[in-house]
Every structure is written in structure tokens, then in C-alpha cells.
Homo-oligomer: A and B are copies of this chain.
């Protein structure tokens, strides 16, 4: 069977939810999958075109009073099969992070202690802000879970839990590394 890239599978997956348009897909990813997936319109619209060309979804135009028309995409049985088949396939590789902060820290000896500390501090702030948004997302998922009795909420909470734990570990590391750098600075 034909294979597609992960961007395409991500969109197929989202089309199983209430999100049916390119715009809504972007919003869902930015708001709920943000900690493990990113996407741009430059990926979404061409991918939706491909999905329709391949018969994995069907489009229909929906008039939207006082708003631009929108195109709703609905999975076909074939599209649902392709999604399930991807879900069933094994995963070979660990995700590969690219972390600019760690890259700079790796060469930290060529930086002043002040600069190293300030980079870590701004990283810490961003991590803390991210942790707070996760808590916000968690609450909105819990609300959604109570409203609609759907199974998907459980899985969304699993992925969110991952984000929270990993972010928490990064925050702890950040705080302690800043402390170590400050001690170093005072020693020298």
C-alpha cells in the first residue's frame, strides 16, 4: 500500500475530530498538539489537495454568513483505512530534537558566565510559560470530556501528561544549572 508523510497522516487523524477545514486543523495543532507537532499553512493546504486527489477525503463548500466560505474535508472509508494502517505500523526511530539552547551551552566556555546564565534564564521563563499553557489545555480537555462522552479525551490527556512531565524535568534542570553557573561565577 502507498505511504504518505507524517504531515499527511496527522491531517487524516485530525479529520476524525470536529476539525474539518484547513484553518481549524491549524488551530487544533497549535493549541493541542503544540508540544509534539508543528505545522504551517504551506504544508496544510497542499496536503489537503493531495488527500482529495488520492481519494482519502471529500471536500464540500460551506457558506459561512459574514465570513469567508470554508471547505470542509470528510474522510472517505479509504482515508480511514490509510490512517488505521499507519497507526498500526511500528515506529523505528526516537524523535530527534534540535535544541539550540543546548547547542550553545555545549560551547559555553566561550561565553561569559553572565551570558550563559541569561540564556538559561530566558529558557526557564519560556518553559514555565509553556507549563502554564499545558495546564490550560488540560482544563479545556477535561471540559470537553464531560460535555461529549468520547474516548479520544483520554489519549489527549496522555500526550499532555508527557508534555507536562518532560517540561517539568527541563525546568528543574534549568534551575539547578543556573545555580551551578552562579556558583562558578562567584568562585572565579
A interface, CB within 8 angstroms of B:
6, 9-10, 13, 16, 33, 35-38, 83-84, 86-88, 90-91, 93-111, 115, 119, 122-123, 126-127, 130, 150-152, 154-156, 158-159, 161-162, 165-166, 168-170, 172-173, 177, 180, 184
Contacts and interface: CB of A to CB of B under 8 A. Distances in A.
B155 A165 contact: no
A36 B98 contact: yes
A91 to B, nearest CB: 6
21 contacts: A6-B100, A10-B103, A33-B103, A33-B106, A37-B98, A37-B99, A37-B102, A84-B110, A87-B107, A87-B115, A90-B119, A91-B100, A94-B126, A108-B154, A108-B158, A109-B150, A154-B184, A165-B169, A165-B173, A166-B170, A166-B173
Contacts of A158: 105, 108, 177, 180
Contacts of A36: 97-99, 102-103
Given A93-B100, A94-B127, 20 more contacts: A6-B98, A13-B106, A16-B110, A33-B106, A36-B99, A36-B103, A37-B99, A37-B102, A38-B96, A38-B98, A83-B110, A90-B122, A91-B123, A94-B123, A95-B98, A108-B158, A161-B173, A162-B170, A165-B172, A165-B173
A91 B102 CA distance: 11
Contacts of A123: 91, 94
What's the number of copies of this chain in the assembled complex?
2
A108 to B, nearest CB: 4
Contacts of A115: 87-88
B84 A156 contact: no
A97 to B, nearest CB: 5
